[in-house]
Structure 1
Amino acid sequence: MATKVFRSATEAVADVTDGSSLAVGGFGLCGIPDILIRALAESGVTDLEVFSNNCGVDGHGLGILLGDRRIRRVTASYVGENKEFARQYLSGELEVELTPQGTLAEKLRAGGAGIPAFFTPAGVGTPIALGGLPWRYDAGGAVAVASPPKEVREFRGKKYVLEESITADFSLVHALKGDTEGNLVFNKAAMNFNPLAAMAGRICIAQVEELVEPGEIDPGQVHLPGIFVDRIVHTGVQDKQIEKRTVSAGKEG
């Protein structure tokens, strides 16, 4: 049986090609697969479609690929911390599908579970359901591509909108610990989108801070079973960037 462990991030992402779609874990800079993202940037791959809660920040995480113009389209919930993301979107250089955060999470989970679509109350009566959200602007600021209307159906007297699930060619995730079979443990808030993104990728690539042998992780502590994980890269503990640093003013003695 072939091992899931790869010697480097470069080897693990070597078959990600131009035009690939990626489901990427993390929230802001918390729990992001930064080593895998950096390896992709160094590979020169471009024209990517990304599914992620946000697009990192300028110069970090997915912001690296964005700044190098490697990303064609993003499905995300949040733009705010990345000025280049906002600039490319508003200038018509990037297609963006903004999605309610809970809906995005469920679209990823459903994709990994083999569920093609589901109904949710989130977005009923808004442009999410009615259509018309600007996916892409033209150079003059007019809407070039708008979202289509979605099916709305009533169940037990309440309206719900139909959302299609997400599957991607690859998923990139970060875990605190993993074993060589791909069973993963995430650290606190890094649980956010990582398990869901992992499930949604046809090929899941995980970077782990600590790599152990099978049986060393208590089965009750496994957050994501190895059936969802195809490749593992042991990165060790890396320096983690702080998205926002707030320091209170000191008191005079």
Structure 2
Amino acid sequence: MSRGKVVATAAEAVADVASGSSLAVGGFGLSGIPDALIEALAEQGADDLEVFSNNCGVDGHGLGILLERGRIRRVVASYVGENKEFARQYLSGELEVELTPQGTLAEKLRAGGAGIPAFYTPAGVGTPISDGGLPWRYATDGSVAVASPPKEVRELGGRRYVLEESLTADVALVHALRGDTEGNLVFNLATRNFNPLAAMAGRVCIAQVEELVEPGEIDPAQVHLPGIFVQRIVHTGPQDKQIEKRTVREATA
């Protein structure tokens, strides 16, 4: 098999991620998270990280592993729930959190990857998102130590919009169902939500794939993310898929 952009192990793929780096991390809840890359980064030891991700995993899994080891300094996310340690660190002042509307976060990553520095959106107009004052970091006494600043608001076509700056990251970590050795990726179902956007936003994109194939084995029409956005790819095999909340119905007689 042609090696192309292939890296032998997840540990080798993240070996040069430096402390203080910003990370764009794909996945939604526990769906499509780059778990092998996150675990390798936890073992590698980089800290003081800033993370752009829809959420921060759950306790003991996904980005929750980096959180519980105190490796993350700041998070830009749209959802805190399902992770008690995330909430504890935020409320105790150990972690800075910029809560962002989910669609806005998705567009901030996409725009960053497309080279668009900022954009206007109606989401958040007339709320602390645009007016400022949203708690980013608490002090140990529960007061607000750092609050969000106000943002520019303009009226366009008779409607008010807030200016949002795009996001780019030093490194992107993503998970895909299938990839070829040149980095062309295919995502499975809901894993396609934040993974392509995170990949585009990273200056260096590292992808873990369940299945690795030769160039040409993926129909070009089926490629979800072109290899131009991917610098490293590691074959991790099938993902150990977790369920955040297992809900079952009672068995009928």
Q: Give the structure-1-normalised TM-score.
A: 0.98
Contact 2:3 2:181 in 1 (8 A): no
Would you say how many aligned residue pairs link Structure 1 and Structure 2? 252
TM-aligned CA deviation for residue 3 of structure 1: 3.1
Match of 2:215 in 1: 214
Q: Deviations over 1:207-241 (max 9, x none)?
A: 00000000000000000000000000000113211
Q: Percent identity?
A: 82
> What is the 5 A alignment of 1:44-123?
44-123=45-124
d(CA) in 2 for partners of 1:208 and 1:50?
A: 21
Secondary structure of the residue aligned to 2:39 is: helix
Contact 2:23 2:49 in 1 (8 A): yes
d(CA) in 1 for partners of 2:245 and 2:174?
A: 22
d(CA) in 2 for partners of 1:26 and 1:115?
A: 23
Structure 1 runs of 4+ off > 3 angstroms? Answer: none
d(CA) in 2 for partners of 1:127 and 1:239?
A: 39
d(CA) in 1 for partners of 2:3 and 2:144?
A: 49
d(CA) in 1 for partners of 2:204 and 2:248?
A: 41
Secondary structure of the residue aligned to 2:211 is: strand
Alignment RMSD, CA only?
1.0
> What is the 5 A alignment of 1:121-200?
121-200=122-201
Contact 2:30 2:242 in 1 (8 A): yes
d(CA) in 1 for partners of 2:240 and 2:142?
A: 39
d(CA) in 2 for partners of 1:90 and 1:126?
A: 21
For 1:20, give the aligned amino acid. Answer: S
d(CA) in 2 for partners of 1:239 and 1:36?
A: 13
Q: Deviations over 1:82-113 (max 9, x none)?
A: 00000000000000000000000000000000
d(CA) in 2 for partners of 1:238 and 1:92?
A: 34
Secondary structure of the residue aligned to 1:161 is: strand
Match of 1:30 in 2: 31
Q: Give the structure-2-normalised TM-score.
A: 0.98
Q: Deviations over 1:103-130 (max 9, x none)?
A: 0000000000000000000000000000
Secondary structure of the residue aligned to 1:5 is: coil
